[in-house]
Amino acid sequence: MIDFIAVDWGTSSFRLWAMEATGQVVAARSSKEGMSTLQRPDFAPALEKHLECLSVSKDIPIVICGMAGAASGWQEAQYIPTPTRLCDIPAHAIKVSGTERDVRILPGGAQCDAARPDVMRGEETILLGAALESGGDGLFCLPGTHSKWARVVNGELVSFSTAMTGELFARLAQGSTLSQFVDSSIFDEDVFVQSVRDAANSPASFTHALFGMRAGPLLNVLAPETIASRLSGLLIGLELAGVRADETGPVSLVSSGPLSRNYQLALKELGLDFQVLDADELVRKGLTFAAQKLWPMPVYH
Amino acid sequence: MIDFIAVDWGTSSFRLWAMEATGQVVAARSSKEGMSTLQRPDFAPALEKHLECLSVSKDIPIVICGMAGAASGWQEAQYIPTPTRLCDIPAHAIKVSGTERDVRILPGGAQCDAARPDVMRGEETILLGAALESGGDGLFCLPGTHSKWARVVNGELVSFSTAMTGELFARLAQGSTLSQFVDSSIFDEDVFVQSVRDAANSPASFTHALFGMRAGPLLNVLAPETIASRLSGLLIGLELAGVRADETGPVSLVSSGPLSRNYQLALKELGLDFQVLDADELVRKGLTFAAQKLWPMPVYH
């Protein structure tokens, strides 16, 4: 039986789960209908299409996290400033107007510090899920187009920082003087790990190292097929150079797939302890908690 | 009277000077017909068009430096490996085949070091011009799409390093999540200088600082019109972070225009002594020296 609908609506992807109040998944759907592909009037029909496929009746409530709540998304859910208790996030959900269904969008998090301004949308719900699991204390790394590093203490999101790692990779892999050499289908672990070390040891040499990937193949001292691994290693190494090894406790790495493998190799190379958490599971936990706060539901075990 | 033709044929621009043997400029022409806009068969006609405009007779020799000598240029002039005496460069010029005129292309310089591979085309001729002027010893900074830092000792190009500063600026100014904020027509000196300091003090925070330029305007803690200055400052600061203040003697900054102003501000901010040299004048000096080596000409004063 479907009790509520949970949606993670990001920049480039849409993921929906039909859920029981217990947090059990009844059905799942996903598509490439991310926020960046939609105009404001497109959101309601895009969601409706998926709900109809699952025959979700009109009285089932829907909770959404992610970029759907951005100013350029479906309807803006204002950022919650840090520091904030993660379990307080659902109280700041907005109710989407102009739809028959009860649709709520969770707010993002913002660090309104002029020296270190930062924003997140979606990751706060993952962190909420983690906080429910184990208190969620510690340093979280959520890699991606814009990698997030978040510090959680006693269930409170204290501070966070975003590195533009994935976007820099994409900008350099396409349309730069390096593009012709970047073949992301090949992964060379040795080159990757060496490159992580290079960037972490000498972050000031980063832009020089970038040009070395142009000159190296020209001079036959660097194999072109290793360039994608080196670029990824340099970027992740630069990102990690800012993480202090004396941070308390292990890093909680929230990711999966090849990106998770790369971050695990990098963290290991730099001597940082870590544990790996599953982003999908955590975001569903966070959305289930939010749904229970918004529409208290009996849980039958 | 025209004794020879000097050409600096780069990736994005073509510059030609009709010269007297003394180094005096008789006439000049320039265009956007850079190497990147031309296929191999286009080079000869592109050059001929400019020569006809100046009625240059077929017996006047032509010396070229820059990307025209790249593998993907007009005809490849193999790199000269470092260390190399700058005054030896003209001896390695290649003669272009398939043209009625006597056209020579100077080689580029290469650092065939697997740990620090690097290449230059055009800058070696500027450095040759500088070496003729004052011995040319010291540390040279030639800013641009690919900024070069070259160490010259006793007229010998000992080593060099390229930073992808200008290209990174371009890649982030167009088509990135920062693009909407980057207005390069506005320059804020205070923001620029602060950003140089930020990146030089903390190069490991570079990719975090990039995302701050996305979050700052969203949170109204950073004025969007300052983003171009901050991006430029961060990139130049990161480039300079790798330059040691204990390098002997002042940096010779070879540039002009707004880019020169930015590098001067950055060098000053980081306490690096510098002198400013004119790139156009130096490249003509280098090309004139090469012409005299290739076709010894009497100099009438």
From CA A272, how far away is CA A282, in angstroms rounded? 22
Residues in A closer than 8 angstroms to B198, CB to CB, are none
Q: Looking at beta carbons, which residues of chain B come within 8 Å of A241?
A: 203-204
Where b means 16+ CB within 10 Å and e means fewer, B210-242 reads bbbbbbbbbbebbebebbbbbbbbbbbbbbbbb
Q: A2 near A291, Cβ under 8 Å? A: no
* pLDDT tens per residue across span A6-19: 999 998 899 999 99
Task: Kindly list the distances between the CA atom of residue B124 and the CA atoms of A220, B91, B102, in Å, as whole numbers in the listed order.
Answer: 21, 13, 22
B214 has a chain A CB within 8 A of its CB: yes
- The reply to whether residue A211 touches residue B118, judged by beta carbons under 8 angstroms, is yes
**3 state DSSP class of B263:** helix
Are B176 and A175 an interchain contact pair (Cβ–Cβ within 8 Å)?
no
Ramachandran region of residue B252, left (φ > 0), alpha (ψ -120 to 50) or beta? beta
Residues A238 and B204: their CA atoms lie apart, in Å, by 6
Q: Using a CB–CB cutoff of 8 Å, tell me whether A224 touches chain B.
A: no
A239 and chain B: CB distance < 8 Å anywhere?
yes
User: Rounded to whole angstroms, how far apart are CA atoms A3 and A5?
Assistant: 7
Percent over 70 (pLDDT), chain B: 97
Scan residues 163-182 of A and list those with Cβ closer than 8 Å to B. 163-165, 167-168, 171-172, 175-177
Pair A101, A40: CB distance under 8 Å: no
Element (H, E) at B170: helix B165-173
Structure tokens at B112: 């065939």
State the alpha helices, DSSP H only, in chain A: 43-53, 123-134, 165-173, 189-201, 206-218, 227-241, 257-269, 279-294
pLDDT number for residue A162: 96
pLDDT at B301 over 80: no
Q: Is residue B249 very low, low, confident or very high in pLDDT (cuts 50, 70, 90)? A: confident
Maximum Cα–Cα distance across chain A: 68
Beta strands in B154-255 (DSSP E): 156-163, 251-254
Closest residue in B to A149 (Cα–Cα):
B208
Alpha-carbon distance of A7 to A164, in angstroms, equals 25
Residue B233, both tokens: 């400052």
**Residue B114 to chain A, least CA–CA distance (Å):** 5
Mean pLDDT taken over chain A:
94
Going by C-alpha positions, the residue among A113, A146, A155 that lies closest to residue B207 is A146
Contact B204 A116 (CB under 8 A): no
pLDDT digits (tens, 9 = 90+) for B162-186: 999 999 999 999 989 999 989 989 9
Note whether B238 contacts A: Cβ–Cβ < 8 A.
yes
* Contacts by residues B72-76 (CB-CB < 8 Å, ≥ 24 positions apart): B72/B35, B73/B9, B73/B35, B73/B40, B73/B43, B73/B105, B74/B9, B74/B38, B74/B40, B74/B43, B74/B44, B74/B105, B75/B105
Structural domains of chain B ordered from first start:
4-134+284-294 (3.30.420.300), 165-277 (3.30.420.310)
Q: What is the interface pTM, i.e. ipTM, of the complex?
A: 0.92
> From the CB of residue B26, how many other CB atoms can be counted at a distance below 10 Å?
14
Q: Is A204 on the interface with B (CB under 8 A)?
A: yes
Structure confidence by residue, pLDDT tens digits, A279-294:
999 999 999 999 999 9
Q: Choose among B255, B252, B298: nearest CA to B279.
A: B255
- For B196-213, the pLDDT digits (tens) are 999 999 999 999 999 999
Size of interface A-B (CB pairs under 8 A): 140
Interface check for A212 against chain B (CB to CB < 8 A): the answer is yes
Interface check for B218 against chain A (CB to CB < 8 A): the answer is: yes
* Nearest residue to A60 via CA among A73, A48, A76: A48
pLDDT digits (tens, 9 = 90+) for B59-79: 999 999 999 999 999 999 999
- Give the residue on B whose Cα is nearest the Cα of A79: B219
Cβ of A162 under 8 Å from any chain B Cβ? yes
Mutate to test the interface with B, among A164, A235, A239, A270 (most CBs of B within 10 A): A164
Is B165 within 8 Å of A207 when comparing Cβ atoms?
yes
Residues in A touching B71 (Cβ below 8 Å): 218
Q: Which residues of A touch B194 (CB under 8 A)?
A: none
Candidates B208, B235, B240, B243: best to mutate against A (most CBs of A within 10 A) is B208
Q: At what angle do helices B227-241 and B189-201 cross, to 10 degrees?
A: 40
Q: Is B41 exposed, middle or buried (0-12, 13-18, 19+ CB in 10 A)?
A: exposed
pLDDT of A268 reads 95
- What pLDDT score does B247 carry? 61
Find out whether A187 and B89 touch, Cβ atoms under 8 Å: no
Give the pLDDT band of residue B256 (cuts 50, 70, 90).
Answer: confident
Residue recorded with tokens 């217990």: A22
B176 and A177 within 8 Å at the Cβ level: the answer is no
Q: What is the pLDDT of residues B76-116, one digit of tens each?
A: 999 999 999 999 999 999 999 999 999 999 999 999 999 99
B8 reaches A (C-beta below 8 A): no
Q: How far apart are alpha carbons B153 and A130 in whole angstroms?
A: 59
Distance CA(A202)–CA(A195), nearest Å, equals: 10
pLDDT band, residue A125 (cuts 50/70/90):
very high
Q: Tell me if chain A has a CB within 8 Å of the CB of B82.
A: no
Residues of A in contact with B176 (CB under 8 A): 167, 171
Q: Is-contact A262 A232, C-beta < 8 A?
A: yes
* B165, B204, B207 ranked by CB distance to A168: nearest: B207
- Whether a cis peptide bond, with omega within 30° of 0, leads into B296 is no
Compare all CA atoms of chain B with the CA of A172 and give the residue at the minimum distance: B171
- A291-301 average pLDDT score: 87
Q: How confident is the model at residue B298 (pLDDT cuts 50, 70, 90)?
A: confident
How far is the alpha carbon of B193 from chain A, nearest alpha carbon, in Å? Answer: 15
d(C-alpha B105, C-alpha B176), whole Å = 38
Please list every residue in chain B whose beta carbon sits closer than 8 Å to the beta carbon of residue A177: 146, 164, 167
